Amino acid sequence: GAGVSQSPSNKVTEKGKDVELRCDPISGHTALYWYRQSLGQGLEFLIYFQGNSAPDKSGLPSDRFSAERTGGSVSTLTIQRTQQEDSAVYLCASRAFYGGVYEQYFGPGTRLTVT
């Protein structure tokens, strides 16, 4: 079946503009994660959604970052008033939420460049 998809694949924006990044998880996966991958760095956890529970926002770097998940499926990561340090690849992953299953499936990412 289809994997995790993300759009756009690339986004160039001017400093100070808002951007929205979209993630379509694997159908049936109730757990969804956003990570940020800066150049030469590992993946940094941003936010986690599980079903109808309140999201775990502990990784969001500032209040300019927010995310929502509508209908338990598609998720949107929004960055307001973008800064140059926001330039990175933003990765989304989904996971089936039942006992003994841990694997996270990643999308191809959105490369964000803030000029």
Partner 1 sequence: GENVEQHPSTLSVQEGDSAVIKCTYSDSASNYFPWYKQELGKGPQLIIDIRSNVGEKKDQRIAVTLNKTAKHFSLHITETQPEDSAVYFCAATTRESTDYKLSFGAGTTVTVRA
Residue ranges that bind partner 1, judged by CB under 8 A: 4, 31, 33, 35, 40-45, 48, 50, 56, 59, 91, 93, 95, 97, 102-109
In the complex, least distance from residue 3 CB atom to partner 1, rounded to whole angstroms? 9
In the complex, least distance from residue 107 CB atom to partner 1, rounded to whole angstroms? 5
C-beta of 91 vs 114, nearer to partner 1: 91
C-beta of 20 vs 44, nearer to partner 1: 44
In the complex, least distance from residue 43 CB atom to partner 1, rounded to whole angstroms? 4
C-beta of 38 vs 115, nearer to partner 1: 38
* CA–CA gap between residue 76 and residue 107 (Å, rounded): 14
In the complex, least distance from residue 34 CB atom to partner 1, rounded to whole angstroms? 11
Q: What is the DSSP letter of 10?
A: E
C-beta of 1 vs 14, nearer to partner 1: 1
Contacts of 25 (CB under 8 A, 6+ apart): 4, 32, 73, 74, 75, 92, 94
* CA 85-86-92 angle, 5° bins: 145
